[in-house]
Amino acid sequence: MNLIISGTNRKHANSLKVAKFYQKELQRRGEEYEILSLEDLPAQLMETDLYGKRSEEFAVIQQKVFDADKFIFIIPEYNGSYPGVLKLFIDACAFPSSFHHKKAALVGVSSGKYGNIRGVDHFTGVCNYMRMHVLPLKIHLPHIANELDENLDFHDQLTLKFVTEQIEEIKRF
């Protein structure tokens, strides 16, 4: 099993829409990915699942992380970086076994014009520390509210070209 992580707990986030697009396109190519939206994290995660503690609620999520070989992180821009809830999620997962020597593809998302370049770079450092193998092709999606149509498809042909190229590389990765 592989996971697409929608990297925010914000309801109705564009990150989740992008995650669904990636899932649909990978499924068309015979790749099965489950979406893990961080909006589904237990509300008490900070109290129940850090520093070696494990709640029954998070244990189910932790098992999905253990079982995954590949991850696609959809990372929205929060204050020039990535969301704190994404770091909290990573910190709550068992270290090092959750991510050690697994593969990760990174997709930056922002409402601004840079597509979360800095946040993806910051998160790359976290992935490297956890000894994840990061796909070199990182995608940055600026002005995300204008990129997806009502069917959650990318309508800009240049954006679609780059996203499709990354999806093909994820499949081969």
38 neighbors 78 (Cβ within 8 angstroms): no
Distances from the Cα of 173 to the Cα of 36, 50, 132, 135, 167, angstroms: 20, 31, 13, 7, 10
Distance CA 57, CA 144 (A): 32
User: pTM score, two decimals?
Assistant: 0.96
Q: What is the pLDDT, as a whole number, of residue 18?
A: 97
Q: What is the pLDDT, as a whole number, of residue 24?
A: 96
Q: What is the pLDDT, as a whole number, of residue 10?
A: 96
Distance CA 139, CA 132 (A): 18
31 neighbors 2 (Cβ within 8 angstroms): yes
Distance CA 35, CA 6 (A): 7
Q: What is the pLDDT, as a whole number, of residue 53?
A: 87
Distances from the Cα of 170 to the Cα of 22, 45, 65, 105, 141, angstroms: 10, 30, 18, 7, 17
In which residue ranges of the chain is pLDDT below 70? none
Q: What is the pLDDT, as a whole number, of residue 68?
A: 98
Distance CA 128, CA 131 (A): 5
